[in-house]
Structure 1
């Protein structure tokens, strides 16, 4: 439902417009002054503001300027009397969508509102297409040279055209947010907003209000009503990252939203219907969390309707070189230099296991660009863990001096005792032998003697 904010210091006009617009199917809120508009803008984000021109102390022109600073995507319609049309024309020059002269007929204002909504919808669509086409929108692009990622993208295409709730799993840094965006922008919900939130990053006392909104006076500091992210994502997609960290209380509330398709603001008495596609992501094992009683089983099944697993970068090595090319191209544009990489440096990157996945690869290249003495990146410019991994691999590949079975067993016992910090009972358990046997072998091999 489209939201419209009405501003007029005449109670009769406010009430008339509010009733008229609600009957026409719009969500209308009326206020009596420009000061109230300025206070409400950060919270309600209306699609249209209809404001009277002659008001004090903030005039309609003042309100227009504030809107263009804080919410430039909001369309403004100016109401004016016949004697102040020149001021209305000035408002158009400053960015107002249109003006209407009082008195006006009901169908006139409805027609102007509909045209304003068409314009805002067009602007939103252009922005959506721009974001889709812009490879820099998001942390990194979706690269799929490997069979594993090609399979993921095929699954994304199928799931995107359904309204199903999606659970994305995978290690940190694999690109779960990019997959969520791809689902949204490839789906019928793309006409709405993609609203992401990392639930682990928001303190528990604030998260309920962040998700569901609150009413004025619901708690200390709630000086005005506020829409939550579910309302912001109405007819779009809400992406809940790190869903495994959600508290038991909010797990219950989220389950209710998924079941009933309505939310209740903190401190509110009535529910609000929402049409939102939910995509959740986690880097933890939710099934194990369910088994431990840390995550609701019924919520897990509600989220796990369609699942996509993001493979780690070490399982999609064909994608490493394309990522390197992309990140170096982006860094070259940003830094004004043409960065390249020696074959030896690229070979190090291709062989590394990336516990931090794509994010670690991006950080490694940014580090290399920062420390390299020239635009040609060499092995010594890469972070130490990547260089060290190659050194360890080289050392392990060297031919070892042959050893007897007894020597091998002796070294295994020494290493196990050291790993257990001298705890012989634990070492015996790991070696799968009795403690008496362990003591006997230690005497035979002279282990523990100074």
Structure 2
């Protein structure tokens, strides 16, 4: 009976259900008095919000993580970020491999879905590599950060800070516990001119955001000297967005938030604020003080998001690249979208259009509703909604002041952004039968 029920559950359904269970467990733990710094029960809606933003690796917070939660609460958040970032199926596989348990075909299908892997062949071997890469990168980042922070705090505390922020930035959560040092909701603004902190955090965001498939190919590149079309598109598009965003932010903010900084500080800040919207979530400049042009640029970058197979949200850089490629092909009168002398199948273009349309509709809908429930301007609401959908975590200051209705709405957007609109659609409508016939072709005038 149990086996027959499991066989009827599709991979998207098991992933969605798994995240819901993880969030509910985290909410209960974070609402306990022992989880707060002052030993007082945290309202369930705030605990639920924090658990969701941690498991969905978003980073938006209604209470400052470092000053509100105790060490126990912070460890719960750390575990939620790790499980949410790598995927609960990946973490389950870790324990299965540790106890030498056989991975069934059904479980392999769930793993393939959770990692956006193109093939079922070698999926367990790939997951093993993902775990090794992830823990190695997180440990390296934690040690470097610990050494840097040991200059201003005891080494054991510096190591704890290093581990928390290394996991947070690699999983693209962006949550921080810097509040006790520099005040609530300040993120890394006090390290705006620190080359070590900036370099390590940006590298963690980049490695966590390009996706494990690309990461594996980049690590293997010195041996095989070959990259797949997917990796080429991800790396090239990510590079263009990163450098292009940094240049525009440098221009827009040169006489504003960048003005009091040294030249090196200006460069670090422009680069950091360009890579962070790609689902990183940390910031070294006060986002609310930026010009509207810069804030809108961040909205665009958050909407595009990270890469497939990563913990990041957004429509993904590959979707963005396909859309741009389709536009260029149409303008040139070409029928096919071509990257690196490789033609894309039509269903890839259709899927990219569908994801973009559904994503835009989601952001527009929730922006309209929140504009009615929250007393603030349109750009601030749109920024917060896009940040939640892109699982980015950057904020213009609205999230801590949300009403209970606003908190519930943002929770929904964060969950949709983490799971992906199409995954949720497949969860609700799992059995999509193919059409047995095609209708006659018709014509509609466009343009």
Q: TM-score, normalised by structure 2?
A: 0.22
Structure with the higher fraction of residues in helix conformation: 2
* Bigger RCO (CA 8 Å, 6+ sep): 2
Q: TM-score, normalised by structure 1?
A: 0.22
